[in-house]
Amino acid sequence: MNIETYRGLCLSKSGVTEEFPFDADTLVFKVMGKIFSIAPLERIPSQVNLKCDPERAIELRETYDGIITPGYHMSKLHWNTLFLEQLPSKLISELVNHSYELVVSKLTKKQKAALKGMI
């Protein structure tokens, strides 16, 4: 999957915005103001950071050794770095959904209600 396809996947989710809060080369995707994905655009090969359940993160790192790694410059417990071009699109889509849902599950009732209204 290339970064443009990845961007479209992230933006297809309800309540998602994209920003460059850190620098001009690091694209950040947020749901209701909370980060669920970070995409450093200048990295080659293309890679992204996604939030992940800690147990699942370990399992993914073992299964996809060297392709899914502990989150670069992130909490190694809760974030993974994925090398986009080396993973099946279906898995990437699943992991984007997982990251998005993890963040949504931590939103306040008010934020969840606002998000539901966007659908």
What does the pLDDT look like over 90-108, one tens digit per residue? Answer: 999 999 999 999 999 999 9
Q: What is the pLDDT of residue 75?
A: 83
CATH assignment of the domain containing 21: 3.90.1150.30
Q: How much is the average pLDDT of 108-113?
A: 94
Q: What is the pLDDT of residue 72?
A: 82
HEC string of the chain equals CCHHHHHHHHHCCCCEEEECCCCCCEEEEEECCEEEEEEECCCCCCEEEEECCHHHHHHHHHHCECCEEECCCCCCCCEEEEEHHHCCHHHHHHHHHHHHHHHHHCCCHHHHHHHHHHC
Confidence of residue 119 (pLDDT cuts 50, 70, 90): low
**Placement of tokens 């399992």 in the chain:** 59
Domain extent for 42: 3-99
Residue 116, in any domain of the structure: no
Residue 105, in any domain of the structure: no
Contact 115, 15 (CB under 8 A): yes
Residue pLDDT, tens place only, 26-75 = 999 999 999 999 999 998 899 999 999 999 999 999 999 999 999 888 88
Q: How much is the average pLDDT of 71-80?
A: 88
pLDDT of 13 above 80: yes
